[in-house]
A and B are shown apart, each in its own frame.
Chain A
Amino acid sequence: MGCCWSLFCKDDNSLQNCEPNERTHLLVDPVSNNINIQRVNSDDLPSRLSNDLPKKTDEQSALTRILQETATNVIDVAALDTHNLQQHEYLERVKTYNIKVQHVLTSNRAVLGTKLKSCLLQDIPQPEKCLASDLIGSEDTNLVSQSVDAALNAVNDIKVDHKEDLVVPFGLGLN
């Protein structure tokens, strides 16, 4: 008991002085950091022994808390339980969601309509494909330029052949 006490004292002193020695913990004690468990020094023991029962329950609850926290912090893949939906429950939920989606999206039409306008520019997922593609052959280039020239000439040749008056008195001929 005396040894324990002396250890605690040394520990406390070292903490106060901030000087690491051979008894200084390399890792911070997670338990003492997370949960306030009252450390029992031998000085306090006589007074504590008199009300032993409440102390025990305190300790018990502290232990339970530690256990729970550890359990939540542990990654135990084997113990994971997957909650599978029943078929009827699934169908029911799909049905309610369908109705609600219709309702909510229609009521948010104004907001969604403006925000969802698709972008004019389009991403190229694999630019190297486009960049590494073969160049157009000279024959094709000639064909394209010849057709464009021909089209241009055709457009320039369009003329209006004026034959009749554009403004015609309407409905006068009947009388």
Chain B
Amino acid sequence: MVDEIKKTLQDIVTNIDGLYCITFTDRDGVPLLKVNTEKAPEHVLKPSFISTFCIAIDQGSKLGLGKTNNLICTYNQYQVVQMNKLPLIVTFVANQKCNIGQILALESQLDPIVSSLTLIVSEP
């Protein structure tokens, strides 16, 4: 079943122009499920980078704007989208030309996987 899901994710990655990788990690950045192309930058997928999302949204909640749902960072070469599915973090890495709207639209499609993986992290 893992292979099937990985294949589905791989299809999504190939269908979206410019998307390099989708990872499901826990709040410390430890990966549960990861699908990526060769072009995905490795340093972005390190736990130390992914876990900064938690710190950022913790601080962001103090602004009084409500809960942080998604964090989109655009750089010169890459775009990183992180979704708040705590205790999970879903991270997408794409190139600078990728259509972010398409990535955000994946949220509902990935919900079944997220809810299954949440069980793993929330288990003691």
Chain A residues packing against B (C-beta within 8 Å)? 72-75, 77, 80, 82-85, 90, 93-94, 97, 100-102, 104-106, 108-109, 111-113, 115-116, 118, 122-123, 125-126
- Please classify the interface of chain B as helix (H, G, I), strand (E, B), loop, or mixed, using the class held by over half of its residues: helix
- 27 interchain pairs, CB-CB under 8 A: A73-B62, A74-B62, A75-B59, A75-B62, A82-B52, A84-B47, A85-B28, A85-B29, A85-B30, A90-B30, A93-B28, A97-B32, A101-B2, A101-B117, A104-B117, A104-B119, A105-B2, A106-B1, A109-B1, A112-B113, A113-B4, A116-B109, A122-B15, A125-B17, A125-B18, A126-B97, A126-B99
Residue ID in chain B nearest A129 by CB atoms: B17
Checking A84, A93, A123 against B30 with a beta-carbon cut-off of 8 angstroms, the contacting residue is: A93
Checking A84, A111, A113 against B48 with a beta-carbon cut-off of 8 angstroms, the contacting residue is: A84
- Within the complex, the shortest CB–CB distance from A91 to chain B, in Å, comes to 9
Residue ID in chain A nearest B121 by CB atoms: A97
Q: Report Cα–Cα, A34/B25, bound state, in Å.
A: 37
Chain A residues near B119 (CB, 8 Å)? 104
B66 at interface, CB cutoff 8 A: no
Chain B residues near A109 (CB, 8 Å)? 1
Most chain A CB atoms below 10 A, which of B1, B17, B28:
B1
Q: Report Cα–Cα, A84/B11, bound state, in Å.
A: 33
Checking B2, B55, B102, B109 against A102 with a beta-carbon cut-off of 8 angstroms, the contacting residue is: B2
Chain B residues near A73 (CB, 8 Å)? 62
Residues A125 and B16 in contact in the complex (CB < 8 Å), given A85-B28, A97-B32, A113-B4: yes
Most chain A CB atoms below 10 A, which of B12, B28, B30, B102:
B30
B5 at interface, CB cutoff 8 A: yes
Check A82 against B48 for contact (C-beta < 8 Å): yes
Chain B residues packing against A (C-beta within 8 Å)? 1-2, 4-5, 8, 11-12, 15-18, 26, 28-33, 47-48, 51-52, 55, 59, 62-63, 97-99, 102, 105, 109, 112-113, 116-117, 119-120, 123
Chain A residues near B52 (CB, 8 Å)? 82
Q: Report Cα–Cα, A73/B62, bound state, in Å.
A: 6
Most chain B CB atoms below 10 A, which of A93, A111, A123, A125:
A125
Chain B residues near A125 (CB, 8 Å)? 16-18, 98-99, 102
Checking A94, A104, A126 against B116 with a beta-carbon cut-off of 8 angstroms, the contacting residue is: A104
Chain B residues near A72 (CB, 8 Å)? 62
Chain A residues near B123 (CB, 8 Å)? 100
Check B59 against A112 for contact (C-beta < 8 Å): no
